[in-house]
Chains A and B, each alone.
Chain A
């Protein structure tokens, strides 16, 4: 894993490269369109990540502590969305769902699919992190007569969250990369704009170089953000030597 400083250097370099290239012909012509697409990509990634966290936490808690039917439902959700491909899920929601009388806007389909897909992976992260909290913490909370809800909220989750941050960071990057799929259901994100411009201008190298750099910059920004959050969180949680 790279240190946060070299990532910051890479981010600065890629941003400088994007900025530098965008002032020269022929890159300049594409820049406004690509920025517009990038903004759509960022919006989808943000809403999708938010949904992924919601689905992931809910599914993990349901699978661990829910009543039996809910446990099965969570399990089925996790298996189905991890076992099939994100693009198949996207097309299913986009092409098939309308046949069941449910027509959603493309943006909704996009963030819902990404949220559900990444949330299924996130659920396993949440479950593993909760499982990694030492058993003594549960026992001490029981001895202090807390309810299960109080234990989870006050004792277990605050400790589990720190362990969850790095793997969630990786998932957010996977989610960002998966946003490119939404270009295949008519959303004008960065990938869509790239394709569109490629077909009209044939400046393939220029366009795709810029696009790759923009994705790289967003990814690196996510990585840096998550590292900072991780640092803050682990400072807040002074881990004891207690088992």
Chain B
């Protein structure tokens, strides 16, 4: 018998603990991605002098592997006197990487706002800040919630990369369990099953949100 239920049940609580770290990294990373992404998107609207370097940064981050970016933050920042623990470096890398994806999503949302909304705001003499805060963003953000949700799931699925800098999330814990007992079948399969379950649940949730938004935003 290849699969040992006794062993699987024994390690499940340990993996449960690790899952908490995984979820923490996911939520913190995504919070950063959502905020930084919006900043990128708005910066890109502020004329070529700002837009160009931001676009270059986005292109660089989107075109290179997350794993290298994790290493970069973890190994390079200390050279500049900023020493981060592995978890923080990992969350920052996840957040930066996915901020570039979120920026594209926000951009699409912002571009979908009719020009008349901007013109009406100018006609009412609203400041740029007020226009963004009260007029543009409240219309631009709800429709982009589902695509942002998809990136939340994508980010979640990339958290195992943090195992490369020894963050004790699900994958690293599974590897340690495997190397201790020389049984990899149960830990890695369980991790896979946990990811699959959580992804399917989140995908279903996103569909719900999408449907709810679809009802609200029928024009």
Say yes or no: B184 contacts A83, CB within 8 Å.
no
Task: Name the contact of A177 in the complex, choosing from B66, B195, B196 (C-beta under 8 A).
Answer: B66
**Nearest Cβ in chain A — how far from B3, in angstroms?**
10
Complex: A18 Cα to B214 Cα, angstroms: 48
Who on chain B is nearest to A212 by CB? B64
Complex: A184 Cα to B165 Cα, angstroms: 11
Collect the chain A residues with CB atoms within 8 Å of residue B175's CB.
Answer: 91
Complex: A80 Cα to B203 Cα, angstroms: 13
Is B49 an interface position by the 8 A CB rule?
no
Stretch at the interface among B70-78, B113-121, B141-149: B70-78
Is A25 an interface position by the 8 A CB rule?
no
Q: Is the interface of A mostly helix, strand, loop or mixed?
A: helix
**Nearest Cβ in chain A — how far from B191, in angstroms?**
6
Is B55 an interface position by the 8 A CB rule?
yes
With an 8 Å Cβ cutoff, the count of chain B residues facing the other chain is 40
Given known A-B contacts A191-B67, A205-B79, A100 and B2 have beta carbons under 8 A apart:
yes
**Nearest Cβ in chain B — how far from A100, in angstroms?**
7
Map CB proximity to B onto A10-39 as digits: 1 under 8 Å, 0 otherwise: 100000000000000000000000000000
Say yes or no: A2 contacts B55, CB within 8 Å.
yes
Complex: A204 Cα to B82 Cα, angstroms: 14
Given known A-B contacts A96-B185, A96-B189, A181-B161, A212 and B60 have beta carbons under 8 A apart:
yes
Given known A-B contacts A79-B200, A95-B178, A198-B75, A180 and B67 have beta carbons under 8 A apart:
yes
Collect the chain A residues with CB atoms within 8 Å of residue B161's CB.
Answer: 87, 181
Who on chain A is nearest to B63 by CB? A219
Say yes or no: B200 contacts A83, CB within 8 Å.
yes
Complex: A95 Cα to B199 Cα, angstroms: 23
Collect the chain A residues with CB atoms within 8 Å of residue B178's CB.
Answer: 95
Say yes or no: B65 contacts A215, CB within 8 Å.
yes
Is B56 an interface position by the 8 A CB rule?
yes
Who on chain B is nearest to A219 by CB? B63
Task: Name the contact of A99 in the complex, choosing from B60, B184, B199 (C-beta under 8 A).
Answer: B184
Complex: A205 Cα to B76 Cα, angstroms: 6
Given known A-B contacts A2-B55, A86-B157, A212-B68, A92 and B189 have beta carbons under 8 A apart:
yes
Say yes or no: A84 contacts B199, CB within 8 Å.
yes
Task: Name the contact of B188 in the complex, choosing from A92, A176, A181, A220 (C-beta under 8 A).
Answer: A92
Collect the chain B residues with CB atoms within 8 Å of residue A89's CB.
Answer: 192
Task: Tell me the chain A residues, 175-208 only, with Cβ under 8 Å from chain B.
Answer: 176-181, 183-184, 191, 194-195, 198, 204-205, 208
Map CB proximity to A onto B199-219 as digits: 1 under 8 Å, 0 otherwise: 110010000000000000000
Given known A-B contacts A184-B164, A194-B71, A84 and B192 have beta carbons under 8 A apart:
yes
Task: Tell me the chain B residues, 158-202 only, with Cβ under 8 Å from chain A.
Answer: 158-161, 163-164, 171, 174-175, 178, 184-185, 188-189, 191-192, 195-196, 199-200
Say yes or no: B79 contacts A85, CB within 8 Å.
no
Say yes or no: A194 contacts B68, CB within 8 Å.
yes
Say yes or no: A219 contacts B192, CB within 8 Å.
no
Who on chain A is nearest to B97 by CB? A177
Say yes or no: B196 contacts A83, CB within 8 Å.
yes
Who on chain A is nearest to B156 by CB? A85
* 29 A-B contacts (beta carbon < 8 Å): A2-B59, A10-B56, A10-B59, A83-B196, A83-B203, A84-B195, A85-B158, A85-B195, A88-B171, A89-B192, A91-B171, A91-B184, A92-B188, A92-B192, A96-B189, A177-B66, A180-B65, A183-B67, A191-B65, A204-B75, A204-B76, A204-B79, A208-B75, A212-B60, A212-B69, A212-B72, A215-B65, A216-B64, A220-B63
Not counting A2-B59, A173-B63, A191-B71, a sample of 19 additional A-B residue pairs whose C-beta atoms are within 8 angstroms of each other reads A2-B55, A84-B196, A85-B158, A85-B160, A87-B158, A87-B163, A88-B188, A88-B195, A91-B174, A95-B184, A95-B188, A177-B63, A177-B66, A180-B68, A194-B71, A195-B71, A204-B79, A212-B69, A212-B72
Residues of chain B touching chain A, judged by Cβ–Cβ distance below 8 Å, are 2, 55-56, 59-60, 62-69, 71-72, 75-76, 79, 157-161, 163-164, 171, 174-175, 178, 184-185, 188-189, 191-192, 195-196, 199-200, 203
The 4 A-B pairs with the shortest beta carbon distances in the complex, nearest first, are A180-B65, A219-B63, A95-B184, A83-B199
